[in-house]
Structures are given as C-alpha cells and as structure tokens.
Amino acid sequence: MTKSKLSQHVSICFEEESINILFSELLRSRGVATCILPSPQQAHGNTKIITEPQYLPLIPESYKHECLVVGNKESLKAWDGIKLSRPLTEQKIETAIAELLEAPIA
C-alpha cells in the first residue's frame, strides 16, 4: 500500500532553479511536501526524487525505483525507472507525477 500524498515527500534536484521551483509548486499544490536539493546524494529518509539525466550517477541505489528523471528521449534510454521525456506536455507531466507518487517506498 502506498502512502497518502499528504504524507509523501519529494526531493527535487535540477541545475536550473526555475525548474526546481516549478516542480516544487506543482507537487505542493497537490499536498506533497518538497525539498530542493543541490544533489540527489543528499536525499534521505522516505523521499522520492525528481531530477535530470546529468545527476543519474549520483542517485543512491536505494532510490532508483522512486525517482522520476526528466530529459530528452536520447538521454533517458538507459534509465529503466520512471521518466518524463521532452517535449513536455501537461498530460505527460501529470502522468509521470502520478506514477512517481504511486511508486511504493522501499
């Protein structure tokens, strides 16, 4: 059974601060607690992660199935977890976030 959205926490890590803020506001509007991190390596506890391909090598192994990676299709080919490829649309973003929030925390 998954946790309710209100008890979920998502850590966000993008190079561009504006993208961090956009994902944070989108999740907070759904009642999900967020934290913007300088690196996915700083994720701890019962959190999920949203990040970009350049940070893939830094994602702790224990979070790989609780992570949404956003990027170009080419850069996501090797990622077998939850992904969101450009071009981004409202429907694709909604679907990817729903999939991340439904992923059970290990």
Q: What is the CATH number of the domain that holds 36?
A: 3.40.50.2300
User: Which residues make Cβ contacts (< 8 Å) with residue 19, sequence separation at least 6?
Assistant: 52, 70
d(CA 1, CA 85): 28
Instruction: Give 21-62 pLDDT, tens digit per residue.
Output: 999 999 999 999 999 999 999 998 889 999 999 999 999 888
Please indicate, yes or no, whether the overall pTM of this predicted structure exceeds 0.75: yes
Instruction: Give 69-103 pLDDT, tens digit per residue.
Output: 999 999 999 898 999 999 999 999 999 999 999 97
Domain that holds residue 54: 5-102
Query: How many structural domains is the chain composed of?
Result: 1
The single residue listed with the structure tokens 């609780």 is 66
